[in-house]
Amino acid sequence: MTPFHTTLPRSTRMGAPRSALHSVKKALATGAVVALVAIFFAPTFVSVGSAQDLKKPANFPTRPLTMIVPYGAGGGSDQVARAMAKAMSRVADIKFQVVNKPGGGGTAAIPDFMLAPPDGYTVLEHIDNAVSAYAKGDIKENPAKDWIPLCTTQITFSQVYARNDDSRFPNWNAVVDQAKQNPGELTIANVGKVGSMEVILMYQMENALGIKFKQISFDKPAERYGALLGKQVDLLFEQPGDVRSFLDAKKMRPLLTFLDERPSAFANTPTHREAGAKFKPLMRFRGFYVKKGVPKDRVTFLQNTCKAAFSEKSYAAFNRKKYMHLIDSFRDRAGSVKLIKNSVKIYRKVFKELGI
């Protein structure tokens, strides 16, 4: 759907009444009903955009860019995409139209992206699921080769959580003891998709410690939180930014961090290495891509814009809220390619061990 502000040429953005009028005109074309909404909402939207321009290539962009989000409106990916679109429009005065295309664990959006011409006007937001899907053969497109990563702007680690009032698990060691006494009995809510980062990481942990959990596969994140709080399961596997409200409210408590060193905000939680595992943990990461074949100057411009937007105030505040400041959450193009390639290598190795 068209966010009306994005289609305004710069010269017409002079004041609320005029831009509202313009919005209404546009909206009338798409239907009187939408117009009604626009009248009420357009005036609140004029302030976005600023002067600080990055060096733009000739004749690019002459219209708003499209950002495809492979997950639903309001979810974690959608939030990153919208926060980034906002920050990028602030630093470089380019406009984005965010389009959600959910389904198939993030694969449903790929056809649209691949069908779009390689002109830099279509940007795809995607997460590490695209990388594991490629490693597994679910998708043909190699995110490091067939796509050009512009930047990665969120990188985060995973943790294991228990209910805060669950006295059975004062710490991670208690979990291991229980798991050893009753192999395969302790339940842990997880994302079940075969070959996903979540499943692989838990598999590596079980292997390293010689323990076995009963992993319960969930398809919707909120259900997992409900299952832990409602005592349907014993433990939860998740990333801290997604359960921040439960941590702040002292409803959940982290027991283990999958990271080489303890991050400052979780100084009292042991890492998987301290718990006796040696592997290099896979990370959740979200980044932005254009298709292979986009002119070089446009790629460079978008890369620079992405980098500038990452440090932009509103985006930085957003990332902080999601605990993304605890580890370095930014990778440029080269860094993103490296991250993707390394991840593909780990996935392939584990898939082989697992016989996937």
Partner 1 sequence: MEDFLAGSLALFGNGHTFMLFLAALLGGMLFGAIPGVNMLTLGAVILPFTISMQPEHAIMVFAVIYCSGVFGGAITAILFNIPGAPENAPTCFDGYPMTQQGRAGKAIGAAVAFSALGGILSAILMMVATHPIAEWAITAFGPPEIFALIVFGLSVTASLGAKTLWKGWLSIFIGLLLATIGTDPVGGISRFSAWTIFGEPVTSQYATYYLSAGIHFIPVILGFFAIAEVLTQAQNIAEGKRERPKASVQFPSFAEFWQVRITALRSTLLGIFAGILPGIGATLAAFLGYAQAVKWSKHPEEFGKGKLEGVVASETANNAATGAAMIPLLALGLPGGALTAMMLGVFQIHGMDPGPLILINSKDLVWITFAAMFWANVAILFLGWLQTKTVVHILRIPFRWLVPAIFLLAVVGAYALRNSLTDVWVMLIAGIAGYFLRKTGYSPAGIVLGLILGKIGESAFAKSMQLFSYSAAEFLNRPLAWIMILIAFVTLVSSIVGELRKKA
Compute the least distance from the CB of residue 44 to partner 1, in Å.
5
- φ, ψ for residue 264, nearest 5 deg: -55, -40
Amino acid at site 185: E
Single residue of 231, 280, 345, 349 touching partner 1 by CB under 8 A: 231
- The answer to the question of residue 75 lying near partner 1 (CB under 8 A) is yes
Q: Which is nearer to partner 1, 89 or 303 (by Cβ)?
A: 89
Alpha helices per DSSP H over 230-273: 244-248
Single out the residue of 64, 77, 56, 70 nearest to residue 113, CA to CA. 70
CB 242, CB 167: distance < 8 Å:
no
Contact residues for 354 (Cβ-Cβ < 8 A; gap 6+): 203
> What is the rounded distance in angstroms from the CA atom of residue 167 to the CA atom of residue 161?
13
Single residue of 249, 311, 334, 354 touching partner 1 by CB under 8 A: 249
Q: DSSP code of 186? A: S
- The answer to the question of residue 105 lying near partner 1 (CB under 8 A) is yes
> What is the rounded distance in angstroms from the CA atom of residue 131 to the CA atom of residue 133?
5
Scan residues 186-215 and list those touching partner 1 (CB under 8 A).
187, 192-194, 196, 214-215
- φ, ψ for residue 313, nearest 5 deg: -55, -50
Q: Which is nearer to partner 1, 14 or 73 (by Cβ)?
A: 73
Q: Token pair for residue 53?
A: 């321009």
Residue window 143-182: x/- pattern of binding to partner 1, with contact defined by CB under 8 A: ----------------------------------------
Scan residues 34-73 and list those touching partner 1 (CB under 8 A).
34, 36-37, 39-42, 44-45, 47-48, 72-73
# residues near partner 1 by CB under 8 A: 69
Amino acid at site 180: K
Residues at the contact surface with partner 1, assessed by CB under 8 A: 1, 3, 33-34, 36-37, 39-42, 44-45, 47-48, 72-75, 78-79, 82, 86, 98-105, 107-108, 110-112, 138, 140, 184, 187, 192-194, 196, 214-220, 222-223, 225-227, 229-233, 244-246, 248-249, 251, 317-318, 321
